[in-house]
Amino acid sequence: METFVNVPEGSHFPLQNLPYGVFERPDDGERHVGVAIGDSVLDLAVLHERGLFEHDALRDERPFDRPSLNAFMSLGRPVWQAVRERVTRLLRADEPALRNDEALRNHALLARDDVTMLLPAEIGDYTDFYSSKEHATNVGTMFRGEENALKPNWTWLPVGYHGRASSVVASGTDVRRPCGQQRPDDNAPPVFGPTKLLDFELEMGFFTGPGNALGESIAVEDAEEHIFGMVIVNDWSARDIQGWEYVPLGPFLGKSFATTVSPWVVPMAALEPFRTGGPEPDHEPLEYLKESGSHAFDIHLETAIQTEVMNAPHTVCRSNFRYLYWSMEQQLAHHTVNGCNVRPGDLLASGTISGPTPDSYGSLLELTWRGAEPLDLPGDAGERTFLEDGDRVVMTAWAEGDDHRVGFGEATGRVLPAR
């Protein structure tokens, strides 16, 4: 497929992608839903106003003239597919409707550098899973030894916890170093202060669509109907605060201070060509978690760090989404099997995605093995065990086609000093 819009070589946003995001127009400050194409943003609200969407559901709704994707997410997979097909057609080189209408084109197509990207959804609830076996094994080994690395429930259910939706922020938002209780000396009382062990966590997440009613559940074979699309997630972690607080109820202040997401939501239809098999399960799961076919995706992931003295980010981790033991469908089925309702715009994240080799570990906790093996950074940047003030973390992800990439852009954040 070819488009009349210029798409630079290596762009994350070719015609095969068309991710959705929410942006602020530079001319009037209006907030609309758009699609990324090359270095441009296509304003879907403008196209809707011109009557270029014909689906019945869109006649009664105005899902693009809004400051979030929630309304569009709620309409379900058939509408998502119809909109994707229409936008693809309008952007094709052999379609004159948008290409030849200069006034419409100038109003609807904006330079991506000229718009302000916003959080893509009004996130009602946020759940973080723990679905990478390599990550869980590494962390368990550090704290409990190899014999007890995985808890007995880990291979039977997707372990997760309920995070804090209010502190999910869009890429580019600075992150303040959090304060809390820590207990560095097991033989002394805890102390209060800024975290000394600030970490990133390389994750992916998905936004839910129509969802289920309270008291009902979503079957694993139906879960795809409720998965709108995916984003990069950096679920920042204060390891020392978390280590003291998490027994017996789990993460709290060590995680709730910030979670960064990339602004562009890549639809599952764009990722379909990259579907692949995941790891073989240790044993057959319970009936409600059984699934057939391939439910992983070959998505390359990278994390880089840029200190205040560096001119460019330095990659410290390369991983892949296909390493996850539990699939998104299994996560959603487990989340709702007790009758818990999910709603349009809820965010479910994978947990740290680590691979089988040390350079594929998705956190500094693992990359430096709890600080015992510092990372050397280039030039005069020195080394890192955990993040320092002024450090900027840059995460990116893409799936590689024969002659194009279906990418997610970046999820970035800079560490500010504690107050």
- Please give the positions annotated as active site: 135
- Tokens describing residue 247: 């027994």
Handedness of CA 265, 5, 397, 118 (dihedral sign): negative
**CA distance linking residue 405 with residue 153, whole number of Å:** 37
Q: Give a three-class secondary structure readout of 122-168.
A: CCCCEEEECCCHHHHHHHHHHHHCHHHCCCCCCCCCCCEEECCHHHE
**Cα–Cα distance between 352 and 323 in angstroms, integer?**
11
Non-local CB neighbours of 71 within 8 Å, separated by 6+ positions: 61, 62, 63, 344
Q: Which two tokens stand for residue 401?
A: 């086609």
- How would you classify residue 99: left for phi > 0, otherwise alpha for psi between -120 and 50, otherwise beta? alpha
Tokens 């990339």 belong to which residue? 262
Q: Residue 202 and residue 67: Cα distance in Å, rounded?
A: 27
Amino acid identity of 357? T
Give the CA-trace dihedral at 313, 318, 322, 327, to 10 degrees: -60
Residues 6 or more apart from 359 whose CB is under 8 A from it?
Answer: 317, 318
Report whether 37 contacts 18 (CB < 8 A): yes
Other beta carbons less than 10 A from residue 390's beta carbon: 13
* Displacement of CA 338 from its chain's centroid (Å): 25
What Å distances lie between residue 105 and 4, 50, 62, CA to CA? Answer: 11, 12, 20
The span from the first CA to the last CA of the chain, in angstroms, equals 51
